[in-house]
Amino acid sequence: KNQIILALDVEDKDEAYKILDQTTPYLNTIKIGYPITLALGPQIIQQIKDDYNVQIIADFKVADIDATNEKIVNTTLNWGADSIIVHGFTGDDSVLAAKNMAEKNNKEIFLLTEMSHPGADRFLKPVAEEIAQMGVDMGIKNYVAPATKTDRLAKIREIVGDEAFIISPGVGVQGGKIQDTLKYADAAIIGRSIYNSDNPQQTLEDLINMI
């Protein structure tokens, strides 16, 4: 039930609830990002948790100095998120501040090592392995790595080890394949191919049948 994470990047509450009605019988983790949060307000996090009894990963790609990261993480977790995604490229002081604040709230961060879009090859790819290693050195257990580049995903898995939990965006519209992704990742993050589908429930069932 937690091998597919729904990226709920819709900006309308009725639409969001329609998708959640159809998908939450099959999955229990929702990724909430800027699109829905900025459109509907941060209270949408707790509302979705209360109405659907799901885990919420807040994807705010936290990427600031340590003092600011701390505030962003604390506030986001207080809005009800269960975990929060943090960029690794900012370095160990920023990431440590985020990690410590999450732990103070008895929650966890996901460290983003490398992104799934083509443009990430230019700046993030050259440092992704170092970011993953930094995460290992810091004792971070959860990572985000791309489903669109299975070789890169495999490399990140090699660095973070089998005990780590990797979630992987890029399946579907961005070109990643669920079977390949789940060879290396614990869960696939999927957005548009589910919520833009004419029949989100059927699309999700089809994806689950491919696993």
Query: Active-site residue numbers?
Result: 61
Whether the CA torsion 155, 159, 161, 167 is positive or negative: it is negative
Contact 175, 183 (CB under 8 A): no
If one asks whether residue 23 binds ligand BMP (CB under 6 A), the answer comes out as no
If one asks whether residue 38 binds ligand BMP (CB under 6 A), the answer comes out as no
Q: Which residues pair with 87 in a beta bridge?
A: 112
Q: How far is the CB of 47 from ligand BMP (least distance, A)?
A: 19
**Ranges within 151-210 binding ligand BMP (CB under 6 A):** 169-170, 172-174, 189-193
Interface with ligand BMP (CB under 6 A), residue from 59, 102, 153, 178: 59
* Closest residue to ligand BMP in the complex (CB): 191
Number of residues that bind ligand BMP (CB under 6 A): 18
Return the number of the residue (58 or 77) whose C-beta is nearest ligand BMP. 58
Q: Is 37 left (phi over 0), alpha (psi -120 to 50) or beta?
A: alpha
- Listed in order, strand segments (DSSP E) in the chain are 4-7, 29-33, 55-62, 83-87, 108-112, 142-144, 165-169, 187-190
Q: How far apart are CA 15 and CA 148, in angstroms?
A: 27
Q: How far is the CB of 137 from ligand BMP (least distance, A)?
A: 22
If one asks whether residue 116 binds ligand BMP (CB under 6 A), the answer comes out as yes
Token readout for 115 is 């992104």
Which stretches of the chain bind ligand BMP, using CB under 6 A?
Answer: 7, 9, 33, 59, 115-116, 144, 146, 169-170, 172-174, 189-193
